[in-house]
A and B are shown apart, each in its own frame.
Chain A
């Protein structure tokens, strides 16, 4: 069934988009991530412009992280204090990100920057996660316990604050910085940033695993809602019809993914996720390096009359 997307300005097959939403939802449910880093490239791949893809995926991620955050809230797995400090940075970062997005679009370099950010971020995070997963897998094979450092340089910073639910005593500076960075790249790349945020919170901020996913979902939810609003107001690029189809597919796929994820061991899960992230990054890299089929592109600056 063909449906015309009003903002993307192109007809798409509803079932194709629904299936894409469900597939990404499955993966995101399995790994406990938003899945924006998969959704945005897929949309670009079916012919939606990167700008519309990024802006519309923001609202899709908001929906899936809201349903996630609700269930984590019921299980008291969200640290409200930590979430609010993260959000201070997140909102600033999102504003900066959308502003940069608008500037780059005017310069005609947006598509390039989206692709470059994907290459840099995904290959780095992907290979880190992959190698970490590999090492963890080897360790469990050998039966050795993972070495645990309890403190690092981050715990020497001033402005410390007690986060009760997470049972940590931590400076707000790194928390705000992390929030800002995630908000910024999220707004430009159309990703929730969960797949970067969760490892940072675990390894750098030493947030216990009991609250980490729920809290990161709150950040994702608010930054993505905020990004949706800003993209709608400044660039008029949010395709609500597209977003709705993605949401419906995504939230249902996520349920089955979550069940599948419980059957796989943690290290294997990380290994798989690392591989997945890495391959998306590599795909973007290849696209940048090989000669495009057409060197020319046209952009309409608005129809008058």
Chain B
């Protein structure tokens, strides 16, 4: 009996804390299809901050950080060094289960939203996102200015796969917000998680999550899947295609 009562009190308490503000979000499209002539697109995330009676009256200005994470993958970053006069891949680092797409959006600069300590804990900003490396048998993230880590982020950013934009989130009203999620042409397929974190006066006050999916459709997806799953049939088909093309050419252009 006492235990049940305690549980009810706890639920009420926690529920009360979590419900101080409620985030309601939605993406413009939960299923993005990549067709053969897909050349990138932009999704729109919009939502609102719902206040209720327990919300402190002095809370008026909210800050938002939106994190979009694509399917995770293992990646290797290699560094070239000059050896015997030519440039050779020498050193490398393995990045384990890092997001293949990563975007961080906010309504104002990350350091203005919250303290460095909270930013680190909540993984706010590309410098604070956890990117696990395998460093000689150990698994750990390293300092943000590590050569391999910064090169990794720089290369992914160049391809449009990693991005951070501290002005992408716009508040239409004090509680209604929207942000665009740009997806480049070579976007990895899979499930994308979106985390929306709410801050007020530098303090983290809650978050919500949503997701969308990127799927490839059509002939090219069929080709890619076949190549990976039925290598032998795919190889035979390609070889047959080569022979057909060659044979047809010799008929079309036959001189004698």
Contact = CB atoms under 8 A, between A and B. Distances in A.
A259 B219 CA distance: 37
B224 interface: yes
B242 A63 contact: yes
B243 A62 contact: yes
B246 A299 contact: no
A11 B34 CA distance: 12
A294 B159 CA distance: 14
B38 interface: yes
B110 interface: no
11 contacts: A6-B220, A10-B186, A11-B39, A62-B242, A232-B227, A232-B234, A240-B223, A251-B246, A299-B76, A301-B74, A304-B72
Nearest to B85: A289
A295 B231 contact: no
Nearest to A285: B86
Contacts of B189: 303
Nearest to B159: A298
A248 B245 contact: yes
B92 A108 contact: yes
Contacts of A9: 186
A110 B80 CA distance: 13
B224 A296 contact: no
A291 B82 contact: yes
Contacts of A112: 86, 88-89
A302 interface: yes
Nearest to A69: B246
A289 B185 contact: no
Contact of B246 (A70, A111, A230, A300): A70
A143 interface: no
B168 to A, nearest CB: 24
Contacts of B232: 229, 232-233
Given A62-B242, A70-B246, A240-B237, A297 B190 contact: no
B156 interface: yes
Nearest to A251: B249
A209 interface: no
A305 to B, nearest CB: 5
Contacts of B155: 294, 296-298
Given A6-B227, A66-B243, A296-B155, A240 B249 contact: no
Majority secondary structure of chain B interface residues (helix, strand, loop or mixed) = mixed
Interface of B: 34, 36-39, 71-82, 85-89, 92, 94, 97, 100, 148, 151-152, 154-156, 185-186, 188-191, 220-221, 223-224, 227-228, 231-232, 234-239, 241-243, 245-247, 249-250, 253-256
Nearest to B158: A294
Given A295-B81, A298-B155, 6 more contacts: A233-B235, A243-B241, A291-B87, A292-B80, A292-B87, A302-B73
B235 A238 contact: yes
Given A238-B235, A296-B79, A299-B76, A7 B245 contact: no
List the 8 closest A-B pairs by CB distance, nearest first. Answer: A232-B235, A66-B246, A251-B249, A296-B151, A67-B246, A6-B224, A63-B242, A62-B242
Contacts of B88: 109, 112
Majority secondary structure of chain A interface residues (helix, strand, loop or mixed) = helix
Interface in A58-114: 59-60, 62-68, 70-71, 74, 108-109, 111-112
A150 interface: no
A301 B228 CA distance: 14
Interface in A1-31: 1-7, 9-11
A276 interface: no
A300 B152 CA distance: 12
A157 interface: no
Nearest to B82: A291
B186 A244 contact: no
B151 A229 contact: no
A236 interface: yes
A9 B241 CA distance: 21
A288 to B, nearest CB: 4
A252 interface: yes
A260 B163 CA distance: 52
B73 A303 contact: yes
B76 A62 contact: no
A234 interface: yes
A56 B74 CA distance: 25
Most chain B CB neighbours (cut-off 10 Å) among A1, A59, A303? A303
Contact of B74 (A2, A4, A70, A302): A302
A255 interface: yes
Nearest to A11: B185
B94 to A, nearest CB: 8
Given A6-B227, A297-B89, A298-B155, A255 B253 contact: yes
A240 B241 CA distance: 9
Given A70-B250, A244-B245, A301 B76 contact: yes
B223 A241 contact: yes
Contacts of B191: 305
